[in-house]
Every structure is written in structure tokens, then in C-alpha cells.
Structure 1
């Protein structure tokens, strides 16, 4: 076996081939096109202004690619862990422990050359990339969420990785009644009649995308392992969606122009893998700024989703992800919101010292 490490221009074809081998014949697999990967790893990606990354591919003795990952590092993201931390992402591999070990041995050398002594993954410093390994949860994957064979965690543990943190995806099948949410939302609205949910405005899309970044950085900063979003990177990641994006995919909870919270929902295009129309959406972000929490503001956002957004698009399920395991209050609220109509998928991020 041998391992190559290099640029997307050199290795992208082999990188994609690993994925094809792993999921061949799997009806739940939703492959990315070579054009999508080329955009993800383009030299125009603003992330490269602050960080570096390379593709790593392991080949067997017959020259077939059998394992892969991306190695990344930037100082700003590393600060979230209080030590010089590198990241691996886009991990895929056949069930061949020796290949996985050789893949990571090469990746570890890349990190050590940069004096990096702590590695986490599967996790990219870019919030818009998929993170973690799927541990529990069946069926078609949600757009932008990990999907992998069950043996992946065994391969990583065999390479010396251990659990860093778990995350959850709440899949809520909508019901016909949300009395508690409606009561709280009406009470909050009576107290402040100027509160409203504002949608994306056509003349200031770029400004609103920047606002999403600012809101995320304020609302999520208390989470462990928090890495700030760069507005240029957010704009780059959402650009492929702009032609089809509807204004109400994004909603800002405002009081006379003062933003207190926001949400960002996208269609779960993976519904189409089942030959069905799109009936579920993923809530990538639902957040309230810290100073406005515990005041019922989230009920206004949920009320807007339930009574305005979902009926308009015929939505039957909402996927809320990610939710980190340390966010006990949010987990409790989501369980109460979904009740018995909730399915929970779990994901894991691993770490290892070098």
C-alpha cells in the first residue's frame, strides 16, 4: 500500500473513487458530483486566506484508492481548543484497518511538520461542511449531515482516536397542535407588538448573509469547541443556493430593526432519493442571542416555522441539526417540542493527541 498527499487538482478523481467504492449499491447514498467537490476545494475558497488543507488518499497494492481524508489547519480555529489543533474531515474508507492506519500515519506526519499535537475530526473548521460520524440513526441521510458505515468508528478507534463530543439531529414529524408554543408566542407578541420575523430582502442578500454570520458568532460562542464563521466563507458556501433560495428560508426575529434571533432552513433534497417530493427541511441554524433568551423569543421563531413556513412548502418533518450534547437546555426543549413524534440521530467527533 501507499499514500499520496496533495492538492485537489492532483488527487480529486481518486478521492471521489473511494466514496464510490464504499457506497456502491447503497440506496441511501447521495453522492456529490465532481463539480460540487471542485467548488468545495477550489483555490477561490476564502478559507484558504486563513488556513491550509490537503487531500490524503491511500491506495492498495493494485493501485486502487481505498481510504481518504482531508487534513486542515488554521490558527484561528485551533484557538477554540486552547492548543495547536488540526482537523481531519471527509473521511471515507473500505473496512481495511491497515489502510486506515497508513492513511492517518501520513496525516499525522503532516500535522507534526506544523508542530500540531492535537487532532479532531471528522470535522472541518468550516461550519458549512459535514461534521462527525453517524453513530445511531437509520434511513436516508439529511442534506449536509454525515452518512457512513457502522465500522467507521472502529477504524478511527483503531488509529488511536477517542470520543471528543457527541451531537444530535432531531427529526420532528409535525403534529396539528402546538398549544404551548402558540400560547407563549401570543403572550410575547402582546407584550411587544413590534416583534416580527423578517425574511431575506432581495436588495440586500449579501448584507443579510453577513448578518447570519454575525448572529451565529454571538449565539453559539458559548458552545464548547466553538469556531467563528467568517462572513466571506459563509457567502461562498451559500452561493450555490442563491439561485433557488426563497426569501423565507431565512428569518430574523426583529424589534424595530434590532435583531434578537434568527433561523435558516433549507430543503432536504435527499428526500428525492426515495422518489418522493421534498417534504422535509433542515434547520441549519435556530438561535437566540444570549441577552434575549428565557423570554419566549424562540416560541415566535417556532410559531413562524410551524404556521407559516411549513404549510407553504408542504413540510411534514423538520430536521434540527446539529445540537451539541453539552447544550442540555436546548435538547430538553426540542424533546418537549417534538414529543413522541421525535427521532434522534447521534453523531460523534473524535480526538487524538500526537
Structure 2
């Protein structure tokens, strides 16, 4: 068997091969949620992704006998490094066949590139920012993946352990939340109480308000305020916010988007819940991540006609100073009836740090199951 050859992606053809490898490796997998091809292109292209205003990146492909056997992205988020006083090179978009020589060579390429740029540690899997997939799945391999996360085979973390030198930097958990037959009484009582006591109210959006009245900006101001002190977070720039408004809100069913406003503070937006019908099964039917010729129909059925049992809790955020007031109860008392109406059976939370008990306490009045765990690894260079 010939040795593994690592090549840097230098052109569009190489980027296409980088994107295509995941589709080939996971073809037919019942749990993976493959991204749409054009979304991958937009995220990985340096002239399209606003994160490149403060990030640097290189992409590497692994070959054996002329066949692609692995890929990885090397990323330096200069803003996050400055914020957290670290010199980290991140690895992300990592996929490989079950061959320890391949995975070792890929990560060695990231390590070398990081050293060349003055980094002192390698950490991941992470993307450019927290809006990208985070962590390597270490538990929950037979659970349905989500559009916002990356699935991986069970042999991935085994390779990390076998290579040596890596240690846990952070773990994330994900919960399956079962939609109740009625809104839990606790949520209803808390929602009624904080409406009267603190003058907090639910705000439902119209398309016009999103496009013309700046609510997209207000939403991501809350996201920055909510996640600003969490592991590895880098504040979203204005260009990123503009991109994410188009990405998350342009096609959203606004019945599944709920804001909380403080009417004692000039209707300041203090909480946000962006939820969407799960697209995983639909994306699995989009060959190579393409909407044409038939993929668009499956995506449309899930997105607009709610032909799925699952709702993804994409972004849930409450400003820190409002969490103790129970503002999250307003979100759920509004959203749960919509879930019931659309026939959703359960919801998928986004990744949550295992130590973030305040976030996990939001689900205490719902039947829930911690069904996935992800790990970020770190290694000194």
C-alpha cells in the first residue's frame, strides 16, 4: 500500500473535491445531515464568507493511490484568539476513511500550518465561528443528525485516542425534547407572571419587519449578547450578521420564530427563539447536496408543509440579565402550540456546553433525553 499524500486546495476544482468527499463518504448513511452544496461553497469561499474578514484558512485533501481518502480545514480565528488570549489553530470539516495513517497525516498538516503562523495549540473540530458545526460526535451515533451539526462515524474519536497527545478541551451535549400534549403549567404560570411583573411580551415578526425594520439586526444583537462569554465565541461582525439574516430568516416560517420584548425599555428585544422544521431527511435526498432536479421538492415539503416529525431549535438566546426573570417561559409557551399544530413529535436542541446548567435548566419542565455528546480536542504544538 502506498503512503498517504497530502495536497493543499488551491483552486475551484480542489474545493469541489473537498466538498464532494463528505457526500461520497456518507452516502446512504441514515443519520448524517449533508449540507447543501451551495451553502458549503459560500462558507468555504474566501470571497463569500464574511468570517474571512478576521479568519485565515487553508484546506487539505488526503490521497492514497490517486483516490481521495480524507479532508480537513485549518482555520485561525484571529478575533477569537485575541478575545480568549490563545494562539489556536482550529481543525474543522474533518472527514477520513478508517485509516489511522490518513487521519494522522491530515491533522499533522494542520499542525504544521499552525506552527508556520505562530500558533501554539491545535483545537477542534471547530469552524470559523460558533455558527459553524462544533465538536466531534462521541455518543449518539444512531441518532438523527441536524443541519447545524456534523455527523461522524464512531471510528473518528477512536483515532483521536490512538494518535495520542490529544486531550478534552470541551464537551457539548444535545437534547431530544418531546412535544407535550399541552403547554406545561409551569411555563404558563411563569409566562403570565413575568408579563405582569416585568412587562415582557412575545413579539411575532412579519416579513416586512425582518426586511425593513431592522429586526434581523436586533435578533443577532441578542445572539452576541447571549453567547459572548461562552467557549471560543467571537462576536459576529456586521457583515456576518447581514449574511445570517439572509440565511436564517429569508425562508423562515415566522410562526416558528419568537422574540421577547421589554416594553419598559422601549421594546428592546431581550430574547429570541429561531426554530425550523428538520431538514435532515430532505437533505439526505438531495444527491451531492444539489437541489436539482428533485431535491428542492423534498426541502420544500419539510420547510413549508412541515412534512417532518422533528423541529430543530436552531438559536435560542436570552440576554443574561433576563434569564433569572424566566423569559424563556414566554418563548416556549408561544412556540409549543405551533409545534402541536404542525404535528412535530420532538425537538432537537443545538449543542450546549456540558457545564452550562442554566441553559439545560430551560428544558426541566419537558420530557427530555440527553442523546448526543460531542467533544472538542486540544493538543499543544
2:365 maps to 337
Matched, 1:296 2:326: yes
Would you say 1:135 and 2:132 are equivalent positions? Answer: no
Name the CA distance, whole Å, in 2 between partners of 1:220 and 1:17. 32
Q: Counterparts of 2:7 and 2:327 in 1: how far apart (Å)?
A: 51
Q: Deviations over 1:36-80 (max 9, x none)?
A: 3222222121111222212111101x1111111111113211124
Structure 1 length normalisation: TM-score? 0.90
Contact 2:32-2:150 at 8 Å conserved across structures: no
Which runs of no fewer than 5 residues in structure 1 stay unpaired?
A: none
Deviates more, 1:111-120 or 1:247-256: 247-256
Contact 2:89/2:111, CA 8 A, preserved across alignment? no
Distance across 1 between alignment mates of 2:245 and 2:162 = 36
SS in 2 for 1:3: strand
Asked whether the equivalents of residues 310 and 345 of structure 2 are also in contact (C-alpha less than 8 Å), the reply is yes
- Residue in structure 2 matched with residue 260 of structure 1 by the alignment: 270
TM-score of the aligned structures, taking structure 2 as reference length: 0.84
For the 8 Å contact 2:138–2:374, the answer to whether it is kept is: yes
Q: Does the alignment pair 1:150 with 2:158?
A: no
Greater displacement, 290-299 / 62-71: 290-299
Task: Write the distance in 2 (CA, Å) between the matches of 1:258 and 1:241.
Answer: 21
1:287 paired with 2:317, answer yes
- Partner Cα distance (1:7, 1:263) in 2: 39
Moved beyond 4 Å, runs of 4+: 240-243, 273-276
Cα distance in 2 for residues equivalent to 1:203 and 1:38: 29
Structure 1 residue 81 displacement after superposition = 3.3
Match of 2:90 in 1: 87
Q: 1:98 to 1:259 in 2, by over 3 A?
A: same
Question: Structure 2 CA distance, aligned partners of 1:241 and 1:255?
Answer: 24
1:248-296 CA distances to partner (integer Å, 9 max, x unpaired)? 3432200221222111112211144599822222112222212222112
Equivalent position to 2:348, from 319, 323, 326: 319
Q: 1:228 to 1:29 in 2, by over 3 A?
A: same
Q: Note if contact 1:166-1:325 (Cα within 8 Å) is conserved in structure 2.
A: yes
Report the Cα offset of residue 2 of structure 1: 0.9
Aligned twin of 1:349: 376
Indicate if the aligned counterparts of 2:91 and 2:107 stay in contact, CA closer than 8 A: no
Please show how residues 188-199 of structure 1 align to structure 2 within 5 Å. 188-192=194-198, 194-199=199-204
In structure 2, the residue matched to 1:182 is 188
Moved more, 318-327 or 271-280: 271-280
Unaligned runs of 5+ in 2: 286-297
